[in-house]
């Protein structure tokens, strides 16, 4: 059995991908910035799956040199990848409000360039071996434009388009590529973004667990689906969001007005 490289594996969906893929007998290469959190995930998985070999790579994927350094480390260790899960991501700056362009640029590198470069550097070996699975974690936010957004929705739309194009490019060569599109999911994502209150202001039936989202993501890429919308509710809403007749219902409210205080 080969290995799975998972970015953003120190928490949330990435840590869950690590648990589920270890359960399938894959060795793991876990990437994130926080090595203490990565070590906790490693210890927990080793206690359940002692035969799984786990390599940790500390990397900031908003640094443009990270994907090349990660790919070199994988090649030098002679690790054969069967799975690539581009999962690392976060909420980011707001385009027309936050004036520090460097922050925008770093965010775009994390959300789009790093994913593209890891596919570019790691997929050719999968194609040569005739086997590979690539899951790029996008979002239902990438399925429709909304006003008042930061780069989050547009960057996820890119990840979906990239995944569809790659899936077509490698069709019939043993490599499946999927964009996994979750809706609201219980992870650290909203707390990290300072948006904990969203859980109290949105109905609980909009929220799914990481276990279910990841299980559906793995099932979807195994079945060769280019776009995997997770969660029954979001699968039901998705065709409506793609319809020209109903898209206006889902449009956002535009840029928030400046505070009157
Ligand atoms: N939760 C949701 O409702 C939801 C919905 C749709 C899509 N998603 C997507 O799901 C993916 C995983 O998010 P999550 O919900 O699991 O959030 P999370 O619990 O906050 O985990 C985010 C992961 O990304 C890593 N990360 C963030 N910035 C990074 C950077 N600059 N370099 C390297 N790693 C970085 C974090 O690790 P370190 O901080 O240790 O670096 C962490 O492991 C994201 O792409 C997100 O956009 C989430």
What is 112-148 written as a DSSP string? IIHHHHHHHHHHHHHHHHT-EEEEEE--GGGSS--TT
Asked if residue 63 lies in contact with residue 32, where contact means CB atoms within 8 angstroms, the answer is no
Q: What is the pLDDT of residues 158-184, one digit of tens each?
A: 999 999 999 999 999 999 999 999 999
**What CATH number has the domain bearing residue 203?**
3.40.50.720
Does residue 157 fall inside a structural domain?
Answer: yes
Instruction: For residue 11, report the distance from its CA to the centre of ligand 1, in Å.
Output: 7
Does residue 121 fall inside a structural domain?
Answer: yes
pLDDT at 130: 98
Say yes or no: CB of residue 60 within 6 Å of ligand 1.
yes
Say yes or no: CB of residue 70 within 6 Å of ligand 1.
no
pLDDT at 15: 98
pLDDT at 233: 96
pLDDT at 96: 87
Say yes or no: CB of residue 10 within 6 Å of ligand 1.
yes
Does residue 59 fall inside a structural domain?
Answer: yes
Say yes or no: CB of residue 106 within 6 Å of ligand 1.
no
CA distance linking residue 180 with residue 137, whole number of Å: 5
Q: What is the pLDDT of residues 10-68, one digit of tens each?
A: 999 999 999 999 999 999 999 999 999 999 999 999 999 999 999 999 999 999 999 99
Among 42, 89, 160, 216, residue to substitute to test ligand 1 (most atoms within 8 Å of Cβ): 89
Q: What is the pLDDT of residues 201-248, one digit of tens each?
A: 999 999 999 999 999 999 999 999 999 999 999 999 999 888 877 777
Q: Give the range of the structural domain holding residue 41, as residue numbers without chain letter.
A: 3-250
CA distance linking residue 230 with residue 213, whole number of Å: 6
Ligand 1, atom 8, residue with closest C-alpha: 139
Q: What is the pLDDT of residues 77-99, one digit of tens each?
A: 999 999 999 999 999 998 888 88
Does residue 243 fall inside a structural domain?
Answer: yes
pLDDT at 256: 42
Does residue 258 fall inside a structural domain?
Answer: no
250, pLDDT greater than 90: no
Could you give the number of structural domains in the chain?
1
Q: Which range has the worst mean pLDDT, 26-30, 134-138, 254-258?
A: 254-258
Q: How confident is the model at residue 149 (pLDDT cuts 50, 70, 90)?
A: low
Say yes or no: CB of residue 71 within 6 Å of ligand 1.
no
Does residue 259 fall inside a structural domain?
Answer: no
Q: How confident is the model at residue 150 (pLDDT cuts 50, 70, 90)?
A: confident
Does residue 193 fall inside a structural domain?
Answer: yes
- Closest CA relative to residue 67, chosen from 134, 120, 10: 120
CA distance linking residue 151 with residue 94, whole number of Å: 7
pLDDT at 1: 77
pLDDT at 246: 72
Overall average pLDDT of the 68-76 stretch: 98
Does residue 29 fall inside a structural domain?
Answer: yes
Among 13, 16, 20, 227, residue to substitute to test ligand 1 (most atoms within 8 Å of Cβ): 13
104, pLDDT greater than 90: yes
Instruction: For residue 189, report the distance from its CA to the centre of ligand 1, in Å.
Output: 6
Q: How confident is the model at residue 254 (pLDDT cuts 50, 70, 90)?
A: very low
């Amino acid at each position: 059995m080969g290995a799975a490289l998972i970015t953003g594996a120190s928490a949330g969906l990435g840590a869950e991908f690590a648990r589920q893929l270890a359960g399938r007998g894959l060795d793991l290469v876990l990437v994130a910035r926080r090595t203490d959190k990565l070590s906790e995930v490693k210890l927990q998985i080793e206690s359940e799956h002692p035969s799984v070999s786990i390599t940790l790579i500390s990397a900031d994927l908003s640094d443009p040199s990270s994907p090349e350094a990660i790919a070199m480390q994988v090649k030098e260790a002679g690790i054969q990848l069967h799975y690539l899960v581009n999962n690392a991501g976060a909420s980011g700056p707001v385009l027309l409000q936050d004036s520090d362009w460097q922050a925008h640029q770093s965010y775009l590198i994390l959300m789009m360039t790093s994913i593209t470069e890891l596919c570019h550097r790691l997929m050719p070996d999968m194609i040569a071996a005739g086997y590979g699975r690539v899951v790029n974690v996008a979002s239902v936010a990438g399925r429709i434009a909304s006003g008042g957004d930061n780069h989050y929705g547009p960057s996820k739309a890119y990840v979906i388009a990239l995944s569809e194009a790659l899936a077509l490019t490698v069709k019939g060569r043993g490599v499946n590529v999927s964009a996994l599109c979750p809706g609201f999911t219980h992870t650290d994502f909203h707390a990290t973004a300072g948006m904990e209150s969203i859980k109290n202001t949105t109905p609980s039936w909009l929220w799914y667990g990481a276990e279910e989202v990841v299980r559906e993501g793995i099932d979807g890429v195994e079945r060769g689906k280019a776009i995997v919308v997770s969660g029954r509710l979001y699968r039901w809403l998705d065709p409506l969001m793609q319809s020209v007749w109903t898209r206006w219902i889902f449009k956002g409210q535009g840029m928030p007005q400046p505070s009157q205080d």
